[in-house]
Amino acid sequence: MSFLIVGLGNIGIEYADTRHNIGFNVLDVLAGASNISFESKRLGSVAEYRYKGRSFILLKPSTYMNLSGRAVNYWLQAEKIPVENMLVVVDDLALPLGTLRMRKQGSDGGHNGLKDIAATLGHANYARLRVGIGDNFGNGGQIDYVLGKWSERERLELPAVCDKAADAIRSFGLVGIERTMNIFNTK
C-alpha cells in the first residue's frame, strides 16, 4: 500500500529554519531516521520511505508554498495514489507549538498552501496534519512571525515536535486516520 506524504514549505536558503517550513522539517526527520535522502525530481524533492510493508512517498514541493497544488496533483497521478492515502503536513498558527491536529478534510484555515491544493484538486477532501507553531506575535506581525526563524527556546522543542509528527505519519499509514486522530489529537 502506498501513501503520499506532502510536507509544505518554501524552497531557498532564506526560508530554511523558518516556522513556515515545519512540513519540510517533519519529512526530513522521517527520512533521516531511515537514512534515506531526497532526490530533486519534477516539482519537488522526493524520497521513498518504507515502513512495515507500507510505502510512503515523501514530497517537499519546489513550487513554493502558495503553488503547492501543482506538485501534489502531479505526484498523486504519477504514483497512482488515491487522494484518501495522501496526508499534507502543514504549519498552524492557531495551535501552540508542538500541538498536532490531524483531520480527514476541512477548510484551509487561511493557509495559502492548503488553499492552492484544494483549488488544484477541486476539493478539500484530503487529510492534513496541522503542526502548531504558536502565535507569539503582535498586531500585524503574522507574516514576519511565520517566515521568521525559530527562537532558541523553540529550537530546543523542535526535535520532539518533529518526532511526534513523524510517529503520527507512520500511524496514519498503519492503522488509518480515525485511530491516528484518537491517538495524536490530544492536548
Question: Taking the mean position of all CA atoms in its chain, how far away is CA 42?
Answer: 18
Residue 111 annotated in active site: no
Nearest to residue 19, comparing CAs of 85, 111, 103? 111
Q: Residue 139, by phi and psi: left (phi above 0), alpha (psi -120 to 50) or beta?
A: beta
Burial of 145 (0-12, 13-18, 19+ CB in 10 A): middle
Neighbour tally for 1: CB within 10 Å: 10
CA 20, CA 65: separation in Å to the nearest integer?
A: 9
Residue 106: Cβ within 10 Å count: 15
Catalytic residue among 19, 20, 60, 111: 20
Instruction: Note whether 117 and 88 are within 8 A (CB).
Output: yes
Question: What residues are labeled active site?
Answer: 20
